[in-house]
Every structure is written in C-alpha cells, then in structure tokens.
A and B are shown apart, each in its own frame.
Chain A
Amino acid sequence: MDVFHGLLSGFEVALSLHGLLFVLIGVTVGTFIGMIPGLGPITAIAVMIPITYGMDPALALLLMAGVYYGAAYGGASSSILLNAPGTSEAVATSFDGYPMAKQGKAGKALATAAIASFFGGTISIIFLTFLAPTLAKVAISFGPPEYFALMLMGLTALSSLSDGSTIKALISATIGFMIATVGIDSQTGTPRFTFGNAHLLEGIDFLVLALGLFALAEVTSLIITRKEKVGKSNTIGSLKLTKNDFKEITPTVGRQSVLGFVIGVLPGAGGTIASFLAYISEKKLSKNPDEFGKGAIRGVAAPESANNAASGGAFVPLLSLGIPGSGTTAVMLGALMVLGIQPGPLLMGDHPDVFWGVIASMYIGNILLLVLNLPLIPYISKVLKVPRPLLTSLVIVFCLIGVYGISFSTFDLFLLLGFGVLGYIMRLVHFPASPLLLAFILGGMMEQSFRQALTISNGSLSIFFTNPIACVLIIIAFASFLVPIFKTLRRKAKVDQSVDM
C-alpha cells in the first residue's frame, strides 16, 4: 500500500461518523486531563486501557491518540497562566508564557501556544506520514556515545540561559546535575544519596522539582503582592496575533518543529528535552536574547512547537519498530497489545488500517484541538480574574495535587515544599533556576550514556571519537562553548583599544 492510498483509507476510518466522534471525545478529554494537575498523558492513556478493552481496535486507537495529543496541548495553559506546569513537557513554556501573562498578554500567549502546538503537531505528522520507514533508521542510529554527545551539546548551551552572572548559572547547573544523581544508579544498582529512604530510590521526579522551583517560589511573590487590586495581570489582552507576531514566530515554529520531531524520534529523549533544547537554541539564534525570559513570544512558540512535534516523533520508533521511546509511548504499546495489535516492524504491513488510521486521526485531532482550544482561551484565562488571595491558594493546591498525582506519597509533597524554599532563596540571591532544570534533565541521561559507552568499550575513551556522529556532536559542543568566550575576549580587547585611543 503506497502512502496516498494508505492515507486515504486512514481518513476513511477517521472521518466516519464514529471515527470523528471518538477523536473529538479523545481530544476533549485529553485537553482537560492535561489541564488538571496530577494527570498527564501517561495516566490518561493508562486509565483508558480498561475502558477501551473490547472496543473496535481502530476506534479505540483514535480515542487513545486523541487523548495523547489533547493532554500534550492542555499542559500549556497552567504553565502560562499560573507558572505551574501540569506536565513536564510544558515546563519550558512557562519561562516566557508566564511573564507574558503577567504583562496582560495571557490571551496572546495561549493563542501562540495553541498555534505553535498545531503547527508542531502537523509538521511532525507530515514527516511521520512520508518518512517513517526512513526515520526508523535514524531512531536506532543513536547508541550510548551519540546520546552522550547530544546531551553534552545541550548542556554547553546552558550558558545562554544565564542572564547576568555565568558563574551563578554554572553553580545552578551543577546543583541540578547533583539532584539528578539521587536514586539507584542504573549501571551498578547502587543507591546514591538516598539516606536509606525508599522514596528516593527511583530518583526525584522532574515535575516535583519544576513545580517547587517555579510555581511555589512564584507563590511568594503572589503573597507579597496580595493586596494589589486589579492590576495589569488581570487583563487577558487580545487573542489576536499581529502580522508582526506571525512574522516573528513563523521561522521559530518551522525550525523548532523539525528539531522537536528529530529529538522525539530518538528513544529516551522525548518532549521535555525537546522543549528545553528548542528554547535554548531559539534564544541563541535570537538577535535580542535578552528578551527571553521576559515575555518573548518566540520563547512560547519554540518549546510548544517542539514538544508537540516530539510527541509525533515518538510514534516513529513505536509504530515502525515497536520501540517505545518514552514512558507515554510505553503505555501506548501496552494499550495496543490489549487491543490485539503488536506494534513492531511489521505493523505497517499487517495492520495498515491501524497505522494509517492513527496517522489520519492525528491530522484531524490536531485541527480539532486548535478549533477547540482557541475559543476556550477567554474562558480559561478567567482564572486570572480570580482575586489574588484565592488564586494564591488555588495555585498551591494545584501544585500539591500535581505532585501527589505522580507518586501518591506525602514524602514528595515535602520535597516539593523543600524545592519551593530553595527556589525562593535562589531568587533572593539572584541565581537563575532554569540552568538547574536543564542540567537535571540532561545530566542524568548524559551520565548514564557516558558510562554505558565506557562499559561497552571496556573503559577506552576512543569510543567517542571513532564514532562519526558522536565525534561531530562533541566538536559542535566544544565550539559552542568556546566561541562565545573568544567573542567576549575579543570584544573586551576592542573596548580596551578604544579606551586607549
């Protein structure tokens, strides 16, 4: 079956009355689940498994894919409005989304997120449609040395996250990396820094860290300004993006969708890493990097297009190889198995209806999500009209449920509070928090792949240089680290000269 034929038959399934209804239910439920703290795409799909059991597999999958996509969309709203991301994929969105909302541009931020998500999702489905078999080769081309090099490249970009003191950004990143070392070490089974506490054995969840450092720390400033009457942040502003806005975000969405998709294709990387890399690379490319973190529209568009593209990309190894590259796709795999479909290299041949049905439903799901989300924005933004004291309590409850829903343990709630205090102290002493998060998500994977590679090579470092992809990535990493240093040195030299004159 060729692509067009397959796609056509897929649309036949997805555009039938039943099909459309299931996609619609899926995306609606998914959007709400994504917005509710404590429920993310993984939980959403896991609870769908018993519900869809016994249903027509093609329809059940439409529902499931809808939920998966919807949850990825829904996560952005709380990130932008409350600075409290509901899913880890939406953390980077808060960096500029929340400042925008504070400036009274919540409507625009949410609209940007929705549009960027739509294009990110759609671009990735187009890739998935036409290039899945080719991309499957990319998905397995990365072994431990390549992953190490990729994570190293991401980490060297952290200097761009520091506004002000580089040394403070480095300290922040080192602490983030240290937090990532807590838990059982996968390569040796040794529990590290757990102090005999079983709750720490599986490490610290990214969302606990992010909600503490960002959302709870922000609560303190809500408390300080509790008596402020209707301020700027209570207005939602226009939803409409101006021509200029579109001009600004179009290239961003284009390149970050591609980046997000490629990262999503790699097993183990996923939407969170994609959104962070998108954010920092966009900041590096920007002519006005200083605007980032202060409400830059590109700072919202980049992570949102990347994380949605990544969730499409994650389907490449799942559908074409049977490799689940993330927690969410692993649950998807389980769901498919219950429906009697074994995802694997033969899926496209054995169940073309399923493969193409899912792809077609993604096109439709994405459009439905945009249509559903844009009109919802004014209503969702109403949350900003809630009086400050009540809003403060609600944000706190949001964080508490968000964390409790991950682990169902009060230990993690104490941890959340601890990170909240840490986040507040970091604000007081002017330490940026985002390098900490970046080092946390990249550091853990970097360490593991570094050590996997060295176990395989029996301890020889040559494995990183005999491997072409890894070697190139490492060179880029060093270049991106050293070039800015040279630049500043040269600039300083110039300044000195001009002073001399």
Chain B
Amino acid sequence: MKKIAAILLLVFVMVISAACSSSSSSGKPEKTTKSNGEWQPEKAIEITAPSGAGGGWDTTARMAAKVLSENKIIDQNIGVVNKPGGGGAVGWAYIHSKKADPYKLFITSPPMLLVPLNGQSQFDYKDFTPIANVIADYAAFAVKADAKWNNLNELFADMKKDPSKITIVGASSPGSMDHIQFVKIAKAAGIDITKIKYVSDQDGGALTQILNGSADVYSTGVAETVEQVKAGKIKVLGVTSEERLKGDVLSDFPTAKEQGIDATFVNWRGFFGPPDMDKNAIAYYEKKFKELSDSAEWDEIRQKYGWDEMYMNSSEYKEFLKKENNEIKTLLEELGLAK
C-alpha cells in the first residue's frame, strides 16, 4: 500500500509539473483590440497537418509554428495537429467540418489538387480558403551516374524509340506527384504518356532501385538528389523550375526549359483555412505569413531543406491553383485516371 501511494504521489507530481509548464506557456495576455474591421486571434490557433508525424507537411507546419511564435509574429499559442489518412483526405474532411472557424488552418501542397482529381477525396481546393503560399520545391529527374543519357532530350529520344525499355521510379502511386511531375514534362517533350512505364516504391526503395539498376529514371524532389550527385552516384538530367536554382550543386542542374522542353512543375506549399473564412481573418493571416516568409529564421530553414521562397497572397494563390488544377486535370484525363 505504501508503495502504491508513493507511485501515485510520483504521478501526481508529474501531472502538476506538466500542468504548470503548459499553463505558464499559454498564459499570455489576450489581445482583443478590434478596431475598423481588423481581426486578431483571441485564442490558440491550430494548424492541421493532414499526415502523420514526420512527413513533409508535418515538418513544414511544425517549423512554421515555431518561427511564428518564437519571433512573436503571432502572439497566440500555435499547435500542430496530425490528421493522417487517405493521402490528406481525412484531414481535409476534418477541416471542412470546421466551417468559417478562423483558428483552424492547415498546410497543403499539390496533393490537394491530385488526390481529389484521382477521385479519392470528396473535397477539392475550391472547398477551402487558400490563405498564403510560402515555399516552392521542384522536381528532379535523375539517373545512375554511369547511365548513357546526359540530358533529358537523349532520354526522351530513347523513350520514343522503345518506351518498354525504360522504367521510371518514384515514391508514390500512379496519379500522384512523383508520377505526374514526370508525365507533365514528358508530354511537353512529345512522349506518348500512356506508354510510360512507372513503378512506385516507398521507404527509400526508389533511390535503391536506381542505384542497383532495377529502374532507370528517378522522379523525385530536388533536395533528395543533392548529396547523391555530390558523391557521384547519380546525375540529374533536368529539374522543373523556371530558371536555374541557386546554390552549390543545385546551380549545375539544367532546367527542362533550357533544354527546349516548355514545361515546369512546382511543388508549392502553403496554408489554407476552412471554407467561408472571414475576409478580415484572411487579411490578418496573409500579413503574418508574409512576415514569416520575410524573416531571417525562415530563410535559414528554407536553405536547410533546399526550399525556394514563393509567397503568394490569397487572391494570387487562387489564380495559381486554378491554372495548376486545369493542367493536371488534362494530364490525368489523358491517362484515364481522372474521376
């Protein structure tokens, strides 16, 4: 009995200390200044990452939350909530149920367009409020260092001759980002996209397949290729940005555009809100995300992950999404994947 009491006491102390530490961090003075239609958050803000802990969305959200609060850009507590499932669809359904709630943001990227177009989510980007885009990332197409192709045109020339000899590998299933980014560039280069041989392999399997020669072309993000290129294991035939990227090694990667293939692909990442969000709240967040995007801390994070700056406000974002969505839709329809 004595021992049980001791254990209970221990647990009790743990609870109290945890409670104290959390209340001290949330005990900031609340701001309620509301003049001429301006909006200010009055309680904690929740950013949903529609994926599990540790993924791209989760990392971006957690780092953004950290900079926003540590730099006092937003005075309220910002929590990150994980809602994994359905490649984002579960998280989107959750946000959709929080109509007009200005305290529920979420992080998103091209799957916001791809998953609904593949018929795997009942909600698409039009069902939410785009607030601000913050970063951009680009696709890279890499082959083994000793492969016979030295640029995209050589690769595509061979693909036109015999598409069954060349395997493209990516980390996600057909119709999702790694597949579509390649399809988009290939189509612009005049390839019959229904003949492209694509396999998907998770958990680092895609890069492994390139290194051991099982597959030929690796469709991935630019950041994933840098170290392998430095070590001389693979070479990048092309990236999907408008202009050459800046930075060590990165600036050596030729763009598809400069190789005469008129297409780009942006892996944009930004923040959305639930449907029918108040326009004053949108204006508030636009300003705050601009501050985030301009901060030195965020710049440092961008460099560490190899992300590019790409700020768009709400209306620019909407226009951009509409254009992107139409392009992707055409591709998926041609592949027979659109639902």
Q: Quick one: CB contact mask for B57-93 with A, threshold 8 Å, 1 for yes?
A: 0110011011000000000000001111111011001
* Besides A144-B209, A409-B83, A458-B164, 8 other A-B contacts (C-beta < 8 A): A144-B214, A186-B200, A322-B227, A337-B223, A337-B304, A379-B7, A407-B52, A458-B197
Chain B interfacial positions (CB closer than 8 Å to A): 3, 7, 52-54, 58-59, 62-63, 65-66, 81-87, 89-90, 93, 118, 120-121, 164, 167, 172-176, 179, 197-205, 207-209, 211-215, 223, 226-228, 230-231, 233, 301, 304-305, 337
Q: Among residues 399 to 414 in chain A, which have CB atoms less than 8 Å away from a CB atom of chain B?
A: 406-409
CA distance A406 to B53 in the complex (A): 9
Q: How many residues of A contact B (CB 8 A)?
A: 61
* A325 → chain B closest CB, angstroms: 5
**Which of A169-215 touch B at CB < 8 Å?**
184-189, 191, 198-202
- Contact across chains for A321 and B54 when beta carbons are under 8 A apart: no
Q: Which of B89, B200, B305: most chain A Cβ within 10 A?
A: B200
Is there contact, CB below 8 Å, between B84 and A323?
no
Residues in A with CB closer than 8 Å to B212 are 140-143
- CB neighbours of B172 from chain A (8 A): 186
Q: Is A43 an interface residue (CB 8 A)?
A: yes
State A418–B29 Cα separation when bound (angstroms): 47
Q: Does A26 touch B at the CB level, under 8 Å?
A: no
Q: Is the CB of B228 within 8 A of A345?
A: yes
Whether A317 and B204, one on each chain, are in contact in the complex, defined by CB atoms closer than 8 angstroms, is yes
Q: Which residue of chain A is the closest to B232 with respect to CB atoms?
A: A345
When chains A and B are docked, how far (Å) is the Cα of A300 from the Cα of B10? 31
A334 within 8 A of B: yes
Partner of A46 from B58, B83, B198 at Cβ < 8 Å:
B58
Task: List, in ascending order, chain A residues with CB within 8 A of B87's CB.
Answer: 184, 201-202
Whole-angstrom CA separation of A344 from B232 in the bound complex: 11
- Looking at the assembled complex, report how far the CB atom of A458 sits from the nearest CB atom of chain B, in whole angstroms: 5
Q: Is there an interface contact between A344 and B59, defined as CB atoms closer than 8 Å?
A: no
Contact B203 A344 (CB under 8 A): no
Minimal beta-carbon separation of A4 from chain B (angstroms): 24
* Residue from the list B7, B204, B209, B230 in contact with A324, Cβ < 8 A: B204
Instruction: Enumerate chain A interface residues (CB-CB to B < 8 A).
Output: 42-43, 45-47, 49-50, 53, 139-144, 184-189, 191, 198-202, 267-268, 270, 317, 321-327, 329-331, 334, 337-338, 340, 342-347, 379, 382, 406-409, 448, 452, 455-456, 458
Residue in B89, B176, B203, B228 whose beta carbon sits within 8 Å of that of A325 in the complex: B203
Per the bound structure, the CA–CA distance linking A141 and B197 in Å amounts to: 22
Q: Which of A45, A268, A342, A455 contacts B203 (CB 8 A)?
A: A268
The answer to whether A327 and B85 touch (CB under 8 A), given A140-B208, A186-B173, A187-B174, is: no
B204 with A187: CB separation less than 8 A: no
A382 to B8, CA, bound (A): 12
Question: How distant is B253 from chain A, measured CB to nearest CB, in Å?
Answer: 16
Question: Could you say which residues of chain A place their CB within 8 Å of the CB of B58?
Answer: 46
Task: Check if A49 sits within 8 Å of B62, measured CB to CB.
Answer: yes
- Among A140, A202, A455, point to the contact of B197 (Cβ < 8 A): A455
C-alpha spacing A337/B52, complex, angstroms: 19
Smallest CB separation, B112 vs chain A (Å): 14
Which residues of chain B are near A139, meaning CB under 8 Å? 208
The verdict on A325 contacting B202 (CB below 8 Å), with A42-B54, A198-B121, A344-B230 known, is no
- Contact partner of B59 among A49, A201, A448, CB < 8 A? A49
A325 to B230, CA, bound (A): 21
Residues of B within 8 A of A188 (CB): 173-174
Assess whether A201 is in contact with B203, with CB atoms less than 8 Å apart: no
- In the assembled complex, the Cα of A334 lies from the Cα of B58 at a distance in Å of 11
- Which 6 A-B pairs rank lowest in CB-CB distance, beginning with the nearest? A344-B227, A345-B231, A143-B214, A331-B54, A198-B86, A46-B53
Q: From known contacts A144-B214, A191-B120, infer whether A326 and B86 are also in contact, taking CB-CB under 8 Å.
A: no
Can you pick out 20 interface pairs between chain A and chain B where the beta carbons lie within 8 Å of each other? A45-B54, A46-B53, A50-B63, A143-B213, A143-B214, A144-B209, A187-B200, A189-B173, A189-B176, A198-B89, A199-B86, A202-B84, A202-B85, A330-B204, A340-B304, A344-B227, A345-B227, A382-B3, A448-B201, A452-B199
Q: How far is the CB of B10 from chain A (nearest CB, A)?
A: 10
Expressed in whole angstroms, the minimum distance between the Cβ of A180 and any Cβ of chain B is 14
Closest to A325 in B: B204
How far is B53's CA from A327's CA once the two chains are assembled, in angstroms? 10
CB closest chain-A residue, reference B229: A344
Partner of B226, one of A142, A144, A342: A342
Report how far A143 CA is from B205 CA in the complex, Å: 8
Which one of B62, B118, B227 contacts A342 once the chains associate, using CB atoms below 8 Å?
B227
Contact A201 B54 (CB under 8 A): no
Chain A residues, Cβ within 8 Å of B207: 321-323
Q: How far is the CA of A344 from the CA of B84 in the complex (A)?
A: 29
Residue of A nearest to B176 (CB): A189
Q: From residue A415, how far is it (CB to closest CB) to chain B in Å?
A: 12
State A343–B202 Cα separation when bound (angstroms): 18
- Are the C-beta atoms of A184 and B120 separated by less than 8 Å? yes
Q: Contacts A42-B54, A346-B231 given: A50-B175 contact, CB under 8 Å?
A: no
Alpha-carbon gap, A456 to B173, bound state (A) = 15
CB distance from B202 to the nearest CB of A (A): 7
Q: Which of A184, A270, A330 has the most CB of B within 10 A?
A: A184
Question: Are B85 and A267 in contact (CB-based, < 8 A)?
Answer: no
B231 and A456 form a contact (CB under 8 A): no
Find chain A residues with CB under 8 A from B199 CB: 144, 187, 452, 455-456
- Given the complex, which residues of A lie within 8 Å of B62, measured CB to CB? 46, 49-50
In the complex, the answer to whether A189 meets B118 with C-beta atoms within 8 Å is yes
Q: How far is the CB of A154 from chain B (nearest CB, A)?
A: 17
Contact A346 B120 (CB under 8 A): no
- Report the Cα distance A456→B212, complex, angstroms: 13
Contacts of B7 in A (CB 8 A): 379, 382
Which of A43, A329, A342 counts the most chain B CB atoms within 10 A? A342
A407:B84 contact, CB within 8 angstroms: yes
B90 touches A456 (CB 8 A): no
Assess whether B81 is in contact with A408, with CB atoms less than 8 Å apart: yes
Inter-chain CA distance A326–B231, complex, in Å, is 22
A456 to B203, CA, bound (A): 19
A327 smallest CB distance to B (angstroms): 7
Q: How far is B172's CA from A184's CA once the two chains are assembled, in angstroms?
A: 10
Q: Write the chain A residue with the least CB distance to B203.
A: A268
Report B-chain residues with C-beta under 8 Å of the C-beta of A144. Answer: 199, 201, 209, 214
Chain B residues lying within 8 Å of A43, measured Cβ to Cβ, are 53-54
- From A50, A141, A184, A321, give the contact of B173 (CB < 8 A): A184
Structural contact, A408 and B305, CB atoms closer than 8 A:
no
- Which residues of B sit under 8 angstroms from A334, Cβ to Cβ? 54, 59
Q: Which residues of chain B are near A45, meaning CB under 8 Å?
A: 54
Chain A nearest Cβ from B140, distance in angstroms = 14
Q: How far is the CB of A43 from chain B (nearest CB, A)?
A: 5
Contact A42 B3 (CB under 8 A): no
Query: Complex Cα distance A496/B173, Å?
Result: 55
- Cα distance A141–B211 when bound, in Å? 9
Roughly how many angstroms separate A343 CA and B176 CA in the complex, as a whole number? 26
* CB of B30 to closest CB in A, whole Å: 24
Distance of A174 Cα from B204 Cα, bound (Å): 28
